[in-house]
Amino acid sequence: NDATLLELALQRTGFSTQCERVETAEGLSNALDRQDWDVVVADYVMPQFEGLRALAEVKEKGFDLPFISVSGHITDDTAVAAMNAGAFEYVMKDNLTRLGPAVERELRDVEVRRARKLTEKKLWEEHAFRSAIENSIPSGIVVLNLDGKQTYVNPAFCEMVGWSESELIGSKARE
């Protein structure tokens, strides 16, 4: 019944839902392996499986999924423990109107994290590419700021002038 109430709460918020109810760690693992999911909503206390174990399973698989803990009897200490374990949000069963907005907020946050990771990956790739080229060409490269101080030198430039990178960076260009 609780799973149905959660699904209805999400549908009332405007979500088109495709839900799968699991009751064991194995069931969760199989569901996560079978398809991509947008969010995990887990009861904090279940007969055969607890919410913190579900959270650990999601993290062990390396998924960046919003994890929302739902409970009928959660204390502040329990909520803090869930959040410290990595739950993104918790919602009380007697206030399921918070579920939809919590899911919306967490989906936005996960998109921001994914975009940041993609940007960081592209930046790393660009840096690695640039570094490979600058460190392999025989031409000296030096970058000066507006004050004439050297802010970058490649290995070929250091070899040409006979100075180390640490001696050149920050110093004025020699004539």
Taking each helix axis from N to C terminus, what angle separates 76-85 and 51-60, rounded to the nearest 10 degrees? 10
Does position 83 have pLDDT exceeding 80, yes or no? no
* pLDDT score recorded for residue 74: 67
* pLDDT score recorded for residue 160: 93
Does position 45 have pLDDT exceeding 80, yes or no? no
Q: Are strands 142-144 and 150-153 parallel, antiparallel or unpaired?
A: antiparallel
* pLDDT score recorded for residue 120: 97
Statement: the pTM of the whole predicted model exceeds 0.75: no
* 41 strand-pairing partners: 68
Does position 141 have pLDDT exceeding 70, yes or no? yes
114-130 residue pLDDT tens = 999 999 999 999 999 98
Mean pLDDT for 68-84 is 72
Mean pLDDT for 144-159 is 93
